[in-house]
Amino acid sequence: MALGRLHESASVYQQALQFAVSQGEPLPAGTVDLYRGLSELYCEWDDLDTAAHYLTTARELGKQAALTGWQHRLGVAEACRKEAQEDLEGALALLDEAEHLYVESPLPNVRPIAALKARIWVMQGRLTEALAWARERDLTVDGDLSYLREFEFMIFARSLIVQYQNTGTAETISEALSLLQRLLQAAEAGGRMGSVIEILVLQAYGHAARGNTTEALKSLERALTLAEPEGYIRVFVGEGSLMAELLERISGPGGRLKAYVHQLLAAFGRHKDARGPAIRPGSGQTPRTEPLVEPLSARELEVLKLLGTELSGPEIARELVVSLSTVRTHTQAIYTKLGVNNRRTAIRRAEELNLL
């Protein structure tokens, strides 16, 4: 995820799963984490139904094999889904449980559960607790940066931005933006494009909070350019209404990037009680009902019809005798053309356009 190669990661997970299944029963212990990894990818793509499917499969496998050490990782993945559903209390409860179940691993934990909890505290407005966590972790604006603590420093910068929004202290936002610039340079030097995207989004948020819309849009446009090929959704939508307002002010991008912005705005609309894509309260706009600018291909229509069934992604792939990555490519194209970002919404939009 830190490298930003979401599609490649999904392909590797799928190939590893195919190999694991081909070995017969019992499945290798690592199979649970393959399903968990896929759930996290689909959560970022905002396909929460598919994420839930993979999580359920992972949990069932873990129980059947009587494995240990997997419960806390699944708890973290489920918390991601709860957060995407805007159930912050539910996400926090799952992280508390995951923290209790945590089993030390030889692999470095670059997204500690405590940092994930602090991120939710910031979202809930519990800034005192978030800043106390930062002090406990000895996080400072001029601290030594390393990949292992990169995520923690990002949460700290987020805390400082929100603190500025609460107090208006100019020094606080300057420190936050300075820290983010250092983080950006380190992530770029390490080739961690996933981290670069997250940091750029935070930069945009910080500049916007400061009232510097020009700089905010510069950071946002670069983040969009990097994120579009991999289909990132949650990294933008999770930032809330301020990010939606910035996206609506993006001007100039054409082609795929323009379609991507529309897709993100549609996701914002879906997460705000389906009030419609790219609609801001009081804007005087109405939801789009015009025909598609680019029609669906015959193959995309086939996939769309199957999306309207109870079949899962892997089952659709088997039905069409294609790989899951091919189904995913068609699905992303369908979502983009329909201006949606969710299977259920795609079907509703298709019905409105008499495509089914």
Does the pLDDT of residue 229 top 80, yes or no? yes
Identify which has the larger pLDDT, 9 or 27: 9
SS (H, E, C) 310-330: CCCHHHHHHHHCCCHHHHHHH
Q: For the chain, give the mean pLDDT.
A: 86
CA distances (Å), origin 217, targets 148, 252, 309, 333, 346: 29, 11, 40, 26, 29
CA distances (Å), origin 274, targets 73, 345, 352: 31, 9, 15
State the residue for tokens 């820290």. 179
The pLDDT value given to residue 348: 82
pLDDT per position as a tens digit, 233-269: 999 999 988 899 999 888 665 667 888 998 999 888 7
Q: Kindly state the average pLDDT of the residues 342-354.
A: 82
Q: Kindly state the average pLDDT of the residues 311-323.
A: 86
Tell me whether residue 88 is in a domain. Answer: yes
Identify which has the larger pLDDT, 293 or 179: 179
CB-based burial, 266-289: b 16+ in 10 Å, e otherwise: bbbbbbbeeebbbbbeeeeeeebe
Identify which has the larger pLDDT, 212 or 2: 212
Q: In whole angstroms, what is the distance from residue 352 CA to residue 347 CA?
A: 9
Among the listed ranges 23-37, 132-146, 262-276, 335-349, which one has the minimum average pLDDT value?
262-276
The pLDDT value given to residue 287: 37
Does the pLDDT of residue 152 top 90, yes or no? yes
Q: In whole angstroms, what is the distance from residue 35 CA to residue 322 CA?
A: 20
Q: Which residues constitute the domain of residue 7?
A: 1-106
Residue from 177, 182, 184 nearest 226 by CA: 184
Q: In whole angstroms, what is the distance from residue 202 CA to residue 162 CA?
A: 11
pLDDT band at 290 (very low <50, low <70, confident <90, very high): very low
Among the listed ranges 30-34, 119-123, 156-160, which one has the minimum average pLDDT value?
30-34
Read off φ and ψ for residue 72, nearest 5 degrees. Answer: -70, -30
Q: Kindly state the average pLDDT of the residues 207-228.
A: 95
Tell me whether residue 58 is in a domain. Answer: yes
Tell me whether residue 85 is in a domain. Answer: yes
Does the pLDDT of residue 155 top 70, yes or no? yes
Q: Which range among 116-125, 175-184, 305-314 has the greatest average pLDDT?
A: 175-184
pLDDT band at 227 (very low <50, low <70, confident <90, very high): very high
Q: In whole angstroms, what is the distance from residue 141 CA to residue 152 CA?
A: 12
- Residue 197: CB partners within 8 Å, gap ≥ 6? 4, 223, 226, 227, 232, 235
The pLDDT value given to residue 68: 62
pLDDT band at 273 (very low <50, low <70, confident <90, very high): very low
Does the pLDDT of residue 314 top 70, yes or no? yes
Residue 80, class by beta-carbon neighbours within 10 Å (0-12 exposed, 13-18 middle, 19+ buried)?
A: buried
Amino acid found at 30:
G
Identify which has the larger pLDDT, 120 or 289: 120
Among the listed ranges 71-80, 95-104, 275-284, which one has the minimum average pLDDT value?
275-284
Identify which has the larger pLDDT, 170 or 298: 170
Tell me whether residue 26 is in a domain. Answer: yes
Is residue 152 within 8 Å of residue 179, measured between CB atoms? Answer: no
pLDDT band at 187 (very low <50, low <70, confident <90, very high): very high
Tell me whether residue 33 is in a domain. Answer: yes
Among the listed ranges 37-51, 60-74, 129-143, which one has the minimum average pLDDT value?
60-74
Does the pLDDT of residue 10 top 90, yes or no? yes
Does the pLDDT of residue 81 top 80, yes or no? yes
The pLDDT value given to residue 253: 59
The pLDDT value given to residue 350: 86
Tell me whether residue 302 is in a domain. Answer: no
Q: How many domains does the chain have?
A: 1
Tell me whether residue 131 is in a domain. Answer: no
Tell me whether residue 240 is in a domain. Answer: no
Q: Kindly state the average pLDDT of the residues 122-138.
A: 94
The pLDDT value given to residue 299: 83
Identify which has the larger pLDDT, 100 or 272: 100
The pLDDT value given to residue 292: 63
What is the share, in percent, of the chain residues with pLDDT greater than 70?
Answer: 90
